Amino acid sequence: MDLGSRFPVPGSRPSDALTRVQKLDLYYWMRLTRSLEERLVALYRQTKVVGGLFRSLGQEADAVGSAYALERRDILSPLIRNLGSMLVKGATPLEILRQYMAKGDSPTRGRELNIHFGDTDRGFIGQISPLGDMVPVMAGVTLTFRMRGQDRVGLVYVGDGATSTGAFHEGINFAAVQRLPLVVVVENNGYAYSTPIEKQTAARQFVDKAIGYGIPGLQADGNDVLAVYDVTKMAVDHARAGGGVTLVELMTYRRKGHAEHDNQSYVPAGEIDRWAAENDPLDRYLVVMREELGATDAEIAAMDARVTAEIDAATDEAEKSPPPLPLDALEGVYANPPAERPLWFRDGADRAVDVNERPEGWGTWQAPRPGSA
Amino acid sequence: MAEITYLEALREGIVEEMARDENVFCMGEDIGAYGGAFKVTDGLLDRFGESRVIDTPISEIAIVGAAAGAGHMGMRPVVEMQFIDFIANAYDMLTNYVATARYRAFLPCPMVVRGPSGGYVRGGPFHSQNPEAGFIHTPGLKVVYPATAEDAKGLMKAAIRDDDCVLFFEHKYLYRRIKAEMPAGDHVVPIGKARVAREGKDVSIITYAATVWKALEAAESLEKEDGLSVEVIDLRTLAPLDDDAIFATVRKTNRVLVLHEDTRTGGIAGEITARINESCFEWLDAPVLRVTAHDIPLPYAPQLEDFVLPQTSDVVRAVRRLAAY
């Protein structure tokens, strides 16, 4: 099947089948993604986020539009810039906040960082940091769908950088050979950490890699949420119909650094500002909403207010969450045995740090001055 | 019941579990139509069909990763590394993804990664390795390495039923060299339990896999020539280690040799020695000694391979040294 010849054909866009409510829904998810990350920045600056913070500023459309093309029963595997995809799939702001703040009732009970978590019931499987690894894993997930005769599709996100890994190649090749119901989304945001795409590949464009695997390749403007939905929906439908794997390249731009600490010194002057001014996915979609959906200012303000209220409530709740219990660290490496025993020198202790610790010796820690709280 | 080989016992274990549980399936390179490089999976394709016996591209990362994904969804994949040497290609997937999945994400990986391992077969540097130590170091993985045909079958069935990833090392030297009659019924050998391969009272040899047979050979001649009573412990499982069995034999004989075919530095003998030191120091009448391979990539020529790998005469020499304390 030649998917390329079907798109774009005026009047036949899959997104035409979306209702007005659904189209406004896309805005809600993008706004929620952006505002939630802004809240995380505030918490990060208050040192309440104990690890790194990863932004998807400018990429909200590619995350939300692609995840929206899946059914409830389908499973996706997100990347670090797919907060929006996870929210669409049912992850809650409260979970995200607890996770970043390393709370004991976070989805991973304080074991993993940031948005590294999943829930197969809601249809998302958490990534790990070695890039590309989720492609083979999602090949196994979709292999199971096929073995069990289930009408389900998998979607896995990789960045431009991950296309250079062995795991990406082996996973997409195996899935292609087996014609598994898998969509591989390459989010081309220009940079892998500091490495620009021209140092990542000699290919003219990432979608060209599809040819080598004998699968269809589609490409779309990743900052146009409806275009993202259209290509992803076509790839998802193709997979569901038994057509096998499709590689989808979404062209977008990473406006923040790899993580919050990254000052982006490697980015040419003016590039970020240009994308922010001319190609912001929310700004662009607001124009579509006003001009094509007749959305009023009041309607938009109400959605924005809803997002703010939800994030405020989730933040209050997350701040109240307890830290993990130290001994929980020893549970659940295996099903059997269910827990490891504390080592003998930790016997009877319920925490690792006590009066014998002299943290000032480590250099970075500031000892509280006598008399201070 | 007729005797079957170690290799046939492995196959019998896989077949019985595939027949018992439709979630069990096999993946690997050349395992279907060809039946596997050593024929462990011979006949499975005919019996269970293409959807449960899957020939894959040469892609160890994809094989292991796909097994994990299928495991998350409730399947119980049994995947083959054509030679266990190639498991190194999937090291990231096993250690970073599979081993951590339950802990960090509550995702089960009930899967078996199996493959022909070990030397004494003139296989050279890439068809003779014993890479188990690299994995016992990783929390979240289980590692078994049977020495007998009964354990080959019983541990295979236990590994397939285990709710976590089990790395199943099969010794290719033993594939067709040893035979046994299988115990009747549903023969499952528990993971994490060592076995006393030979009772003794003077010196203990703690070992596993092919060197169990070297230890037994040495014990036999030491009894005849020196009148020494040597106990041989076959660990069977390397992760988790059976500390109880190790400490019991130390308390019994007070003299311990740890023997393995794997290279010396960072090999499991060092770990066993440390555990004995920490828990049984006062029971020792002699230092714990090791007989292992030299720290050398395994060479091809018989004269070279034999020199690098531990031999029965090395074991005899080491036990005599222990007995002299």
Share of chain B above pLDDT 90, in %: 100
A140 contacts B73? CB cut-off 8 A: yes
Q: Rounded mean pLDDT of A200-206?
A: 96
B102 contacts A173? CB cut-off 8 A: no
Instruction: Dump pLDDT digits (tens) for A156-197.
Output: 999 999 999 999 999 999 999 999 999 999 999 999 999 999
Residue B61 forms contact with A (CB below 8 Å): yes
- What distance in Å separates residue A363's CA from the closest CA in chain B? 30
Q: Rounded mean pLDDT of A273-296?
A: 98
pLDDT surpassing 80 at residue B1? no
- What distance in Å separates residue A164's CA from the closest CA in chain B? 14
A133 contacts B65? CB cut-off 8 A: yes
pLDDT surpassing 50 at residue A5? no
Q: Strand ranges (DSSP E) for chain A?
A: 75-77, 154-159, 182-188, 191-192, 195-196, 217-221, 246-251
- What distance in Å separates residue B43's CA from the closest CA in chain A? 20
B57 contacts A171? CB cut-off 8 A: no
What is the CA angle A62-B97-A116, rounded to 5? 40
The residue that leads in pLDDT, A358 or A274, is A274
Instruction: Dump pLDDT digits (tens) for A30-81.
Output: 999 999 999 999 999 999 999 999 999 999 999 999 999 999 999 999 999 9
B67 contacts A118? CB cut-off 8 A: no
Share of chain A above pLDDT 90, in %: 89
The minimal CB distance from A139 to the residues B62, B75, B100 is found for B62
What per-residue confidence (pLDDT) applies to A6?
Answer: 47
Instruction: Point out the residues of B that are catalytic.
Output: 127
The minimal CB distance from A144 to the residues B60, B73, B104 is found for B73
The minimal CB distance from B103 to the residues A111, A142, A146 is found for A111
pLDDT surpassing 50 at residue B264? yes
Within 8 A by CB and 6+ apart from A348, the residues are none
Residues 41-60 of B with CB under 8 A from A: 51-52, 54, 56-57, 59-60
Q: What is the DSSP letter of A124?
A: B
What per-residue confidence (pLDDT) applies to B35?
Answer: 98
Q: What is the residue-averaged pLDDT of chain A?
A: 94
Distance CA A113, CA A95 (A): 12
Residue at A58: amino acid letter:
G
Cross-strand partners of B234: B195, B207
Distance CA B292, CA B268 (A): 10
Q: Can you list the alpha helix ranges (DSSP code H) found in A183-296? A: 209-213, 225-240, 271-278, 281-292
A174 contacts B107? CB cut-off 8 A: no
pLDDT surpassing 90 at residue A361? no
Mind giving me the DSSP string for A292-350?
HS---HHHHHHHHHHHHHHHHHHHHHHHHSPPPPGGGGGB-SSSSS-BPPPPGGGTT-S
Torsional class of B141: left (φ above 0), alpha (ψ -120 to 50), beta (otherwise) = beta
* Chain B residues lying within 8 Å of A145, measured CB to CB: 73
Q: What is the DSSP letter of B299?
A: P
B61 contacts A126? CB cut-off 8 A: no
Q: Is A344 exposed, middle or buried (0-12, 13-18, 19+ CB in 10 A)?
A: exposed
The minimal CB distance from A170 to the residues B59, B96, B103 is found for B59
Residue where the block lists tokens 């830290």: A323
What per-residue confidence (pLDDT) applies to A1?
Answer: 44
What per-residue confidence (pLDDT) applies to A354?
Answer: 74
In a 3-state reduction of DSSP, which class is residue A268?
coil
Residue A336 forms contact with B (CB below 8 Å): yes
Residue A137 forms contact with B (CB below 8 Å): yes
DSSP-derived pairing of the beta strands B256-263 and B289-293: parallel
Instruction: Report the Cα B203 to chain-centroid distance in Å.
Output: 23
Residue B311 forms contact with A (CB below 8 Å): no
pLDDT surpassing 80 at residue A4? no
Q: Is the pTM of this model over 0.80?
A: yes
Of A95, A144, A158, which to mutate for an interface test with B (greatest number of B Cβ within 10 Å)? A144
Distance CA A141, CA A118 (A): 14
| Long-range contacts of the stretch A329-332 (C-beta < 8 A, 24+) | A332/B102, A332/B103, A332/B106
What per-residue confidence (pLDDT) applies to B33?
Answer: 96
Distance CA A169, CA A136 (A): 9
Residue where the block lists tokens 């703690």: B206
Instruction: Dump pLDDT digits (tens) for B207-253.
Output: 999 999 999 999 999 999 999 999 999 999 999 999 999 999 999 99
Residue at B184: amino acid letter:
A
pLDDT surpassing 50 at residue A297? yes
pLDDT surpassing 80 at residue B20? yes
B104 contacts A136? CB cut-off 8 A: no
Instruction: Dump pLDDT digits (tens) for B48-94.
Output: 999 999 999 999 999 999 999 999 999 999 999 999 999 999 999 99
Cross-strand partners of B256: B204
Distance CA A133, CA A166 (A): 9
Distance CA A160, CA A162 (A): 6
Distance CA A274, CA B167 (A): 52
Distance CA B128, CA B111 (A): 24
Instruction: Dump pLDDT digits (tens) for A139-160.
Output: 999 999 999 999 999 999 999 9
Q: What is the DSSP letter of A197?
A: G
Residue A178 forms contact with B (CB below 8 Å): yes
User: What six digits make up the tokens of B272?
Assistant: 């066993």
H or E stretch covering A183: strand A182-188
